[in-house]
Amino acid sequence: MAKPQAAVQNKRTFPFKHFVGYLFSIVLTLLAVWVAFESELPAKVIMNVIYIFAFLQAALQLLMFMHITETSNGRIQTGTILFAVFIAITVAAGSVWVMSAGHS
């Protein structure tokens, strides 16, 4: 089987995307730890910031490592994950809201 053109061109390329992804995931993790323990921000702000970092890291994994947009199926794959995120936020935030409202 002949090697596909793209792979041949790839042969000597450095896995640039992967290194960037890895670097950023380390940096974001450390930043989150710093914000949580050292930043002296109000708890609510801290929570928002560390969740934003978490979503950024998730996006890094999807784009840099998992190649979510690859091939003609990329749009379906992206749509699936975006809808899943909508469901996840509904389930988690919705449950917390419903189960705590009226009790405080």
Partner 1 sequence: MKWDEFFVTGDPLIYGADVAIAVTVLAIVSVLTYFKRWGWLWREWLTTVDHKKIGIMYLISAILMLFRGGVDALIMRTQLAVPNAGFLNSQHYNEIFTTHGTIMIIFMAMPFLIGLMNVVVPLQIGARDVAYPYLNAVSFWTFFMGAMLFNISFVIGGSPSAGWTSYMPLASNELSPGPGQNYYLLGLQISGIGTLLTGINFIVTILKMRAPGMTLLRMPIFTWSTLVTSIIIVFAFPILTVALALMTFDRLFGSHFFTLSGEGLDMLWANLFWLWGHPEVYIVILPAFGIFSEIISTFSRKTLFGYKAMVYSMIIIAALSFLVWVHHFFTMGTGALVNSVFSITTMAIGIPTGVKIFNWLFTMYKGRIQFTTPMLWSLGFIVNFVIGGVTGVMLAMAAADYQYHNTYFLVAHFHYVLIAGTVFACFAGFHYWYPKMFGHKLNEKIGKWCFWLFMIGFNVCFMPMYFLGLAGMPRRIYTYDPESGWFSLNFVATIGAFLMGAAFILLVYNIYYSIRRQKPEVSGDPWDGRTLEWATDGAIPPHYNFAVIPKVTGLDAFWRLKKEKQRERIDDAILPIHMPSHSGKPFMMSVFFFISGFGLVFEWFWMGIVGAVGVLVIMILRSLECDKGYYVSVEEIKRDLSSIKQ
Partner 2 sequence: MGNAHQQTHEGLPLEYRSETGKLNILGFWIFLGAEIALFSTLFATYMVLTGRTAGGPTPQELFEMKGVLTQTFLLLTSSFTCGLAIHQMRLGNLKGIYVWLGLTLALGAGFLGFEIYEFMQYVHEGATIGTSAFWSAFFVLAGTHGVHVAFGIGWIGLIMLQLAKRGLTPETSAKVFISSLYWHFLDVVWIFIFTSVYLSGMVMSHG
Which residues have CB under 8 Å from 50's CB, separation 6+? 32, 35, 36
Q: Is the Cα dihedral 41, 46, 48, 51 positive or negative?
A: positive
- Tell which positions 45-104 bind partner 2, by CB under 8 A: 46-47, 50-51, 53-54, 57-58, 61-62, 64-66, 68, 70-71, 73, 76-77, 80-81, 83-85, 87-89, 91-92, 94-96, 99-100
102 binds, among partner 1, partner 2, none (CB under 5 to 8 A by kind): partner 1
Torsion angle of the four alpha carbons 80, 91, 22, 67, in this order, in degrees rounded to the nearest 10: 0
CB of 87 to partner 1, least distance (A): 5
Residue 20 contacts partner 2 per CB under 8 A: no
CB of 102 to partner 2, least distance (A): 14
Q: What is the largest CA-CA distance in the chain?
A: 67
